[in-house]
Structure 1
Amino acid sequence: MEIEFNDPLFEEWTQRALLHAVYGGADFGECLTTAERITDGDRKSWYEEWIKTGDRIFAIGEESRRGGHAVSAREAYLRASNYYRTAYPFLYGAPTDQRLIEAFEKETDAFEHAAALFDPPIEPVEIPYEDTTLPGYFYRVDDSEHPRPTVIATNGYDSTIQEMHFAHAVAAIRRGYNCLTFDGPGQGRPLIKQDLFMRPDWEYVVTPVVDYACSRPEVDPDQIVLIGWSFGGYLAPRAASGEHRLAACIADPGLWDMITAIREMATKLGVAQQAADELPDIDPNSLQPLFEAVESSPELTWTFKQRGLWVHGFDSIIEYLQAMPEYSLTDRAGQIQCPTLITRAENDPLAAFADHLYDALECPKELLQFTAAEGADDHCEMTARTLFHQRTFDWLDGVVAHD
């Protein structure tokens, strides 16, 4: 699906905004007219035009709310939140750009306006974590305190709890599952406003989230499910390897070992095979083809220098590479006890090692493959998210007890 841009990052992020239309996060005309106003490759133009669209749709929400039209207001606020989030990915990096902070605050504010208009309302929550709190939203199926199975959703590298509304929560609630979304270190508000950076031992993040879920009367403590998307396809199974109160785990896609993936990428970019095999403990001069590729490619510059260093709190790509061996499931997969579902989309590069994770699991397990013929071959099955939800929740219904 092509939208408007020659710049591949602009194209990707416009599609990402638009694809949330299926769950009420966008309208086609709003996205397309915004794209038409943006100067291709001009990141200032990108930011300004998505903010303008967000402001315009938020104003519609305000007008509808004042007129007593709760559904119309809620729908407008949701779309505005998505557009505000879309405005700021090209501002990633340290120090955090004030424009990014302002857009994130608009995103959050618009979503919380919408959250209050759901029935029952979506509840913003603060989850105790070490000496601070992590932000989240708790979604109840209905107003009763009857304990129900609950899906906990964990993020990846560049999403927020607001976007996870469209990615996980709507589908869960429709199927009778409560949903608790949260952002951890290196994600959303903890990264943008709390200076909390990504960590590999995600079990120490998820355990206090499970503690919080178990404290709520609406949650059946024996029926808690953890799902992770994008880099969450590493974080969720890593957490499940140490947090054994989970009834099930879903990794979308299944990730295996970051340094192995980076070694493969490095050879494709011209790094000698021997040097790649020795990563990360090598002379940086041996990685010159990698560094040159990052500098010459806007996509790789954004992926590594803007997003990667910022999320992890590092100052250099060498620091980033040196940390990557910690992000591995090679010695953790066998410790996962709960039934686990691994997804793999045909043309998602992050899913390249999903089979490694699946093969290493010793728990009840299943591998779901999504194909180009189904229109579901991209990262996190974004162009066929309803198919993803149908297949994953059908699997989950067979694992988790429903009343």
Structure 2
Amino acid sequence: MRLLSAAQEGGSTVAECLATARRIDFSDDNSWCLEWTRIADTNDERGNAALAQGNMPTARSNWLRAVGYYQAAAFPCDQADEIHRRAIGRMRECAVKYLRHRQPAGEVVLIPWPGGHALEGYFLPAAAGSKPAPAVICIGEPGQRKEACLSKVVRYAGDRGMSVLAVDLLGAAAIAPFEEIVGRSDLESTIGHIMDYLVGRDDVDEHRIAILADGCGSSFVARGIAFDDRFAAAVCDGGIWDLHERAFLRDRFAAADAGFGSGRIFSRVARNIKCPVLISTGERGWLKPERVRELYDGLRADDRDVTLKIFTSEETAAAEGHADNTTLANEFIFDWIASRLGIATN
């Protein structure tokens, strides 16, 4: 579903997805990876041929699709598997080729993170003549890769004059120390280090930086912005998961201790978020809409600038992470970001 949805953004084609799916032999454990790698290789080679002929738009389009197909190939494989390593390596190569040959060119950046694990990001500057430009950080849940942002969000930011820093927690290696990363007690500190990098750039307007938590609710992003008042706007769960856990514990132990959880259910995370927040979810997401609205009402306390958008099944974008229609969700999300950063979109 994610691959088919990416077709709207240039991250795949419907015809290639269906043709590849038909070739997969589900009695062969390696068939999934091999078939997606095959179609990815085809797009990569097609992009290289277009580059040699001077057809840059075609080259970029093919590399962008190859990125998505290589990621699909690696998805079900163990990180130590050779197929996984090759797919991730080829995916990164195609992403770098796309960055280098877009206008204006993007760049691969390394962001220090205490503990010896440097964060890797892709910085895609806004169009020439708009410096210093507002910027948006796009970061996913631990385990999600930044390459998906290239097709998913870059166009929406660029159309509105924003630079993009796409970053993940996996670093530059094909085999990432996933368990080590997720187990860190200071996971939310990532956000501050990323912001430190951006405000140090001459081509970024440090007063107009937003963050987009891609994929799931990304509560670690909410924790990160709660203690960093440099953000001008944020699209994340706003600490809803934290509030949900607290409510669960209150209800669970209320019978044993009548005093437990009395009064308002509020968290340190939610209480400390200063910037405007958009909570964007679907009615078929990980929490029921009525539960999200209940928690949202708590976040709205003290007149905080919190916006809630729940996409319905009728309008689509209602799946977890808006995977069924990222286009519709991103139009709403980036219009909201632009309004909070003071960007005219007419």
- Do both share a fold (TM > 0.5)? yes
Match of 1:26 in 2: 12
Does residue 340 (structure 1) correspond to residue 268 (structure 2)? The answer is no
Cα pair 2:236 2:280 within 8 Å, conserved: yes
Does residue 62 (structure 1) correspond to residue 3 (structure 2)? The answer is no
Match of 1:128 in 2: 112
User: Residues of 2 paired with 1:134 and 1:156: CA distance?
Assistant: 14
Report the AA paired with residue 124 of structure 1: V
Q: Which moved more, 1:387-396 or 1:103-112?
A: 387-396
Report the AA paired with residue 395 of structure 1: W
Counterpart pick for 2:310 among 356, 369, 373: 369
Match of 1:304 in 2: none
User: Residues of 2 paired with 1:200 and 1:89: CA distance?
Assistant: 26
Deviation at 1:254, TM superposition (A): 6.8
User: Residues of 2 paired with 1:253 and 1:378: CA distance?
Assistant: 19
Deviations 1:133-170 (A, max 9, x none): 21101111123472121101111144211101223222
User: Residues of 1 paired with 2:91 and 2:19: CA distance?
Assistant: 20
Q: Which moved more, 1:36-45 or 1:377-386?
A: 36-45
Match of 2:98 in 1: 114
User: Residues of 1 paired with 2:149 and 2:288: CA distance?
Assistant: 20
Cα pair 2:89 2:174 within 8 Å, conserved: no
- 5 Å-filtered alignment, 1:217-296, equals 217-251=202-236, 255-257=240-242, 260=245, 277=252
TM-score when normalising by structure 1: 0.73
Match of 2:261 in 1: none
TM-score when normalising by structure 2: 0.85
Match of 1:358 in 2: 296
User: Residues of 2 paired with 1:258 and 1:100: CA distance?
Assistant: 37
Counterpart pick for 1:192 among 175, 199, 203: 175
Cα pair 2:106 2:124 within 8 Å, conserved: yes
Does residue 164 (structure 1) correspond to residue 102 (structure 2)? The answer is no
Match of 1:16 in 2: 2
- Alignment length, in residue pairs? 323
Match of 1:39 in 2: 25
Q: Which moved more, 1:34-43 or 1:121-130?
A: 34-43
Q: Which moved more, 1:211-220 or 1:355-364?
A: 355-364
User: Residues of 1 paired with 2:195 and 2:75: CA distance?
Assistant: 30
Match of 2:262 in 1: none
User: Residues of 2 paired with 1:253 and 1:88: CA distance?
Assistant: 31
Report the AA paired with residue 167 of structure 1: K
User: Residues of 2 paired with 1:129 and 1:140: CA distance?
Assistant: 23
Report the AA paired with residue 176 of structure 2: K
Q: Which moved more, 1:154-163 or 1:174-183?
A: 154-163
Structure 2 vs 1, CA of residues 139 and 121 (structure 1 numbering), >3 Å: closer, same or farther?
same
Report the AA paired with residue 298 of structure 2: A
Deviation at 1:84, TM superposition (A): 0.4
SS in 1 for 2:211: strand
Cα pair 2:217 2:241 within 8 Å, conserved: no
Match of 1:384 in 2: 325
Deviation at 1:51, TM superposition (A): 0.6
Does residue 90 (structure 1) correspond to residue 73 (structure 2)? The answer is no
Match of 1:400 in 2: 341
User: Residues of 1 paired with 2:73 and 2:321: CA distance?
Assistant: 21
Counterpart pick for 1:53 among 39, 60, 79: 39
SS in 1 for 2:234: strand
Counterpart pick for 2:64 among 78, 92, 106: 78
Identity %, equivalent residues: 28
- 5 Å-filtered alignment, 1:300-319, equals none
Deviation at 1:98, TM superposition (A): 3.0
User: Residues of 1 paired with 2:227 and 2:274: CA distance?
Assistant: 9
Report the AA paired with residue 240 of structure 1: I
Cα pair 2:140 2:146 within 8 Å, conserved: yes
Structure 2 vs 1, CA of residues 52 and 371 (structure 1 numbering), >3 Å: closer, same or farther?
same
Deviation at 1:28, TM superposition (A): 1.3
Report the AA paired with residue 107 of structure 2: E
Deviation at 1:344, TM superposition (A): 2.2
Q: Which moved more, 1:245-254 or 1:234-243?
A: 245-254
SS in 2 for 1:213: helix
Deviation at 1:235, TM superposition (A): 2.4
Structure 2 vs 1, CA of residues 70 and 341 (structure 1 numbering), >3 Å: closer, same or farther?
same
User: Residues of 1 paired with 2:285 and 2:208: CA distance?
Assistant: 30
Structure 2 vs 1, CA of residues 388 and 231 (structure 1 numbering), >3 Å: closer, same or farther?
closer
Cα pair 1:254 1:351 within 8 Å, conserved: no
Structure with greater helix percent: 1
Deviation at 1:132, TM superposition (A): 3.9
Match of 1:315 in 2: none
Deviation at 1:243, TM superposition (A): 1.4
- 5 Å-filtered alignment, 1:211-222, equals 211-222=196-207
Deviation at 1:351, TM superposition (A): 6.3
Cα pair 1:153 1:227 within 8 Å, conserved: yes
User: Residues of 1 paired with 2:213 and 2:207: CA distance?
Assistant: 19
Deviations 1:200-231 (A, max 9, x none): 64431011100100011111111110110233
Counterpart pick for 2:164 among 176, 179, 185: 179
Deviation at 1:339, TM superposition (A): 0.7
Task: Give unmatched runs, 5+ long, in structure 1.
Answer: 1-14, 265-275, 279-328
